[in-house]
Structures are given as structure tokens and as C-alpha cells.
Structure 1
Amino acid sequence: MKRLSYPLVFAAPGLVVYACFVLAPILISFSYSLTNADLFHTDAGFVGIGNYLTLLGDSGFLRSLRVTTILTLIIVILPNVGGVAVAMLLDRSGWLYNALRSVFFVPVVLSSVVVSVVWMAMLQDEGLINQLFGTHIGWLSDPGLALYSIGFVISWQMLGFCSVVYLAGLQGVPASLLEAAQIDGAGPWRRFRQVIWPMLAPAMTLNTVMLLITGFKAYDHVQVLTAGGPGLGTTSTLALNVIQVGFNENRTGLSSALAIIMLVIIAVVSSLVLRVLKRREVDL
């Protein structure tokens, strides 16, 4: 019994913090989701799963789910592909490459709001991007381009994180394996495909799960760049919808139900992707 008490003593502070700031808000949100509560009335009535049924038949929710799914796919693909390329370029020694690693990682530590404000200025109709290329493209004002522009901005900010993770994976590749492959006549592409890429499987698993969660909970960038527009919800994500329903429409119960659905989606999708990628690591 005494042996079991020591781990509990050390784990207790972390468990208390986790229970107070993670489990308790989830339970409170779930309880609100079963009522018709709002911000100005305390006498909320119990509606059961009524809010969930309302959301499943709501076109706004289904539209935000589709927008979030598209945005998440962009965020998962672009930084992963770009991260591998940047890591391969920076996998060298020297002060210049050390400096470039820091440069690529700077956007990761910046505030999402700061990044969004800077890119909003550059992506405006008369912004730097259009002036630089001599175009008149509505990167944020065109309903067909706005979502992809947001996906690019978030991917740009996450590129440094993915690059660092892949770079750590590259530095763990044994030089003897690369030398043996080169002696066997393997070219650069074949060495990458058969030696380097399988060794990067754990890095890809970490990056993919992190990007997946980032995409599904995207809010800051969307709010600053487009606020859900242009048009009717063309860039309105699930997270943005939670805030708008809860505060703009004053429907706390419905907003809580939407947040719980978003939590379940993130948990289920992340678990499935993690399981698939972990199995891929074993197969490789």
C-alpha cells in the first residue's frame, strides 16, 4: 500500500489540474447541452437530446462540418509535405542551416492572431500579394478561395513545427543504412523511399495527429481573416459556429451540444488515425 501511495502523491497535482480544467468543463458543457440554457436566464429547462437532434438537421451545422473537414485536409497535407521537404533541405551542419531552422520555427511561436493580421494585410484585394504578382485576386473576398487561403495561412504557421519533427526523425536515421543503400546503387529517390521514409513514420504519426486536431479546432485564424465569410458561412468552422451560436445567438445549450459533438469527432477521428498510422509504423 505504501508503495502505491508514492506515485499517487506525485501524480495528484497533475490529476487535480486535469480534473479542474479539462474534465470539469467537459462535464459542465455536457450538462448544459441537455438543456435550453442561455446567458441571461438561469431557469433552464431539460430538453434531453433535443439539441443534438436539432443540430443533426441544421444546415448550418452540416455546412460548418463540411468546411471544417476540407480545412483539416488542407492543414494535414500541406505542412506534412512541406515539412519533409524543408527538413531534407535543412538536414545539414553549419551556422547557416542552424539559423534557417530558427527562422522556419518562428511562426510556430507567434500568436495565431498576429499571424492572421499580417496575412490579412497581404491577402487583401490591394495587398502585397496581388501587388507583387500584378493580380487582382480576392484571396479572402472570393467565396471560392477564402477557405483555401485560410488553410494556407494555418499550414504556413504549422510548417516549422512539422519541419522540426521531421528533422529530428532524419537525424535518427543511421548513416550506415544510407551508405549501404548507396553502395548497392540506390539513387537519391530510392534511398529516400526505402530507407529514409520508413524511418520517418513515427514523425509522420505525430505531425498528422497534431495537424488533425489543429484543423478541427481552427477558430482564431478564421475569425480574424474572414469571420466566417464571405457569403453565408463559406468559411464558418465548427469552432467558430460554437462561439457564434453561444454568444451571438445566446443559445448556450445548443452551443454546448455543438462543442460536445466537436469533441467527440476530434476524439474519434484522432484515435482512428493514430491507430492506422501506428499500424503503418509496424508494417514499415
Structure 2
Amino acid sequence: MVQSGVGRRRRPVLPRLWHFVSFGAPGVLVYLCFVLAPIGISVAYSLTDYNPFSPPAEFTGLENYLLLLADDQFLTALWVTSVLTLIVVIVPNLAGLGVALLLDKRGGLYNALRSVFFTPVILSSVVVSIIWTRLLDNEGPLNQALRALGVDDPPGWLSDPDLALYSLASIVCWQMLGFCVVVYLAGLQGVPAELLEAAEIDGAGPVRRFRAVTWPLLAPSLTINTVVLLISAFKTYDYVKVITNGGPGSGATATIAFNVLQTGFDANHVGYASAMAVVMLVIVASVTAVVLKLLQRREVDL
């Protein structure tokens, strides 16, 4: 056997590098311009007292971050955002799983019901907010129905500081329910029928089959829903702006995102608002990373 004295020549690196750059550059540029650059600018602003109407900005270091620790309005917004996020993560997940189990059947009726549940997801959050504002108004259809049933003093769903946050969370949950249903339905349809049949042959009932077979295989669906709901709830702004404008009372429904925009665009304290935004980014990124890590541990490799 004759061996060639010359080994296989390697392709030049430069053409391969240019090929990679030509395909990857557009996406990288979009990411740099619309994600990394705004984050960097916000961090820079957060270290100053920047106000667009009273330049120049002075470097203040970590002063804005130290002020946040003693700012009752910010701490209240952090609490409101945390409660809202907790509700929005738990309720649509549980309700979506239940609805998905009911709709995991064949037939035109079930296909129509899936469309009905998913319709709120494609609606604008502003449209949803306006509709529910009318429904939950003190003189709205819900309270009118309660009066017709004999309730003399129906609740002020959006005017009572003790109820407004939970009413707001219910509206967000209602719109996000359809998303969770679709994700769980996709997960249910991916469960191998032979595993369920084998469990049934072994004598497992419906509850046992769900706990031992279906639920573990829905781990990826749970991860997707939880992460999406977590991020969506923590940056809630439009619902608050349209429905309650941060009220009633003193910030009963004001989230961090709402305070960021109010402080930055209404009060023109861009430096302080940027510090709020950076803190919110750190919190969301940290919590999401921890939740993602914990949920991925229980995912089943099919």
C-alpha cells in the first residue's frame, strides 16, 4: 500500500471565519444594538444624576443604588411585584394544567375550545386591560350582577387598595392561561401511549398514571411556562398603567417597571430610574437562572 507523502491539506481558516461572520453578523449586531447596548447605557446612566432637561450629568457612583435601599416607594413596588409574580406563576400553571388535561381529547369541539382558551393570548394587553376595567368597574356588569343577587355593597375590585392588586393579578392570569394550556397540551401529546398502557396493565389508576408517568414527562412544559410567566409578570407595566395607574392609594399596584417609567419619563430622573431598571434586571436574571436550574434537574430525557 502506497502512502502519500503529503497529508490531507487543511482548508484555510480565513474563508471559514468569513463564512461564519457573514451569517452570524446580522444577528449579533441586532443583539448588540437592541440588548447589550441599552443595558450598558442604563448601567452608565445609573451611576449619574442624569436629567435630560438639566445637563450636564454628574457622576454619583453608587449613590442611586444606596438611595433605593431606603426608598419606601421602591421597596413597596418590589413587594407588589413579588406578590404579583408569585400569583401569576402559580395560578396559570395549575389552571392551565387542569384545562389541558380536560382538552387532551380528539374532536372538533375540543379543537374549538382550544382556540377559545388561546384567544386572549393574542389580544393586546391594552385591549384586555380596557375590557376588564369596564367589567370590574364599581358600576360594571359584575357588580350589577352581584346587586341583582342581593349584595347591597359589592366590592370595589379596582378601587379598594386591599383588592386591586389581586384583581390586577387575576387579569394577567386570565390572559396567560391560554399560553399555559397550549404548552401543556403539546407536552401531553408527546407522552408515549405505550408507557400509559404499561402502567394501566400494572394496575395503576388514572391518578397513579398521572403522577408516575404523565407528570414527570411534563417537566419541560413546566419549565417553559414557569420561566415565561416569571419574566412576563416581573416586567408588568401596561396593565398597571391602563387599569389602575399605580393606585389606588399610595402605590397599591405600582410595580417596579411602572416606577421606572414614571421616574424616568414623568419626573425626568433618568439616572435614578436607570438604577431601578438595573436592579430589576439583576433580580429577574438571578431568579430566572435559579428557577431554570432547579426545574431542569427534574426534566426527563426522552
Question: Would the alpha carbon gap of residues 283 and 15 (structure 1) be closer, same or farther in structure 2, given more than 3 Å must change?
Answer: closer
Corresponding residue number in structure 2 for 1:62: 75
Corresponding residue number in structure 2 for 1:110: 123
Q: Which has the higher helix share?
A: 1
Q: How far apart in 2 are the matches of 1:11 and 1:130?
A: 56
Offset, 1:89: 1.1
Q: Which runs of 5 or more structure 2 residues have no equivalent in the other structure?
A: 1-12
Corresponding residue number in structure 1 for 2:196: 178
**Would you say 1:10 and 2:23 are equivalent positions?**
yes
TM-score (norm 1): 0.97
Offset, 1:90: 1.1
Q: How far apart in 1 are the matches of 2:157 and 2:252?
A: 13
Q: How far apart in 2 are the matches of 1:277 and 1:8?
A: 35
Corresponding residue number in structure 2 for 1:71: 84
Corresponding residue number in structure 1 for 2:103: 90
Letter in 2 for 1:242: V
Letter in 1 for 2:185: L
Q: 1:31-70, aligned counterparts within 5 Å?
A: 31-70=44-83
Q: How far apart in 1 are the matches of 2:184 and 2:45?
A: 42
Corresponding residue number in structure 2 for 1:245: 263
Corresponding residue number in structure 1 for 2:177: 159
Q: Deviations over 1:152-178 (max 9, x none)?
A: 100110001111000000000011111
Corresponding residue number in structure 1 for 2:9: none
Q: How far apart in 2 are the matches of 1:37 and 1:236?
A: 23
Q: 1:248-267, aligned counterparts within 5 Å?
A: 248-267=266-285
Q: How far apart in 2 are the matches of 1:27 and 1:272?
A: 24
Match of 1:225 among 243, 253, 259: 243
Query: Which has the larger displacement, 130-139 or 183-192?
Result: 130-139
Match of 2:36 among 23, 27, 33: 23
Q: Deviations over 1:54-107 (max 9, x none)?
A: 111111111100000000000000110011011111111111111111111111
Match of 1:235 among 253, 263, 268: 253
Query: Which has the larger displacement, 180-189 or 68-77?
Result: 180-189
8 Å contact from structure 2 (residues 216, 298) kept in 1: no
**Would you say 1:278 and 2:288 are equivalent positions?**
no
TM-score (norm 2): 0.91
Query: Which has the larger displacement, 183-192 or 230-239?
Result: 183-192
The secondary structure found in structure 2 opposite 1:218 is coil
Identity among equivalent positions (%) equals 61
Offset, 1:282: 5.2
**Which 4+ residue blocks in structure 1 deviate beyond 6 angstroms?**
none
Q: Which runs of 5 or more structure 1 residues have no equivalent in the other structure?
A: none
**Would you say 1:208 and 2:221 are equivalent positions?**
no
Q: How far apart in 2 are the matches of 1:231 and 1:103?
A: 36
Q: How many residues align?
A: 284
Offset, 1:259: 0.6
8 Å contact from structure 2 (residues 219, 300) kept in 1: no
Question: Would the alpha carbon gap of residues 130 and 219 (structure 1) be closer, same or farther in structure 2, given more than 3 Å must change?
Answer: same
Q: How far apart in 2 are the matches of 1:167 and 1:246?
A: 41
Corresponding residue number in structure 2 for 1:129: 142
Offset, 1:130: 1.8
Q: How far apart in 2 are the matches of 1:118 and 1:7?
A: 49
